[in-house]
């Protein structure tokens, strides 16, 4: 399943990096977020990656 990089612009002018992953047989949706960067989280955290693969 391909992963597409996207940018999300907030109302206060920030730009957030994100990834969009849409399976061929979509029947539900979820928004996953990594742990907060101030607490050691980053976009490549193992938890969201494992949930995408499940």
The pLDDT tens digits of the residues spanning 21-54 come to: 888 887 888 888 888 889 988 888 888 778 777 7
Higher per-residue confidence, 14 vs 51: 14
Q: Is the pTM of this model over 0.95?
A: no
Residue 5 has pLDDT above 90, yes or no: yes
What confidence score (pLDDT) does residue 6 get? 93
Q: Which one has a higher pLDDT value, 23 or 11?
A: 11
Which residues sit opposite 4 in a β-bridge? 20
The residue with tokens 């597409």 is: 4
User: For residues 3 and 19, is the Cβ–Cβ distance under 8 A?
Assistant: yes
- Nearest one of 27, 33, 37, 36 to 49, comparing CA atoms: 33
Inform me whether the pLDDT recorded for 2 exceeds 90.
Answer: no
């Amino acid at each position: 399943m391909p992963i597409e990089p996207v940018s999300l612009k907030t109302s206060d002018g920030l730009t957030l990096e994100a990834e969009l992953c849409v399976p061929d047989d979509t029947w539900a949706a979820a928004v996953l977020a990594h742990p907060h960067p101030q607490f050691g989280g980053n976009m490549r955290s193992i938890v969201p990656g494992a949930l995408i693969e499940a």
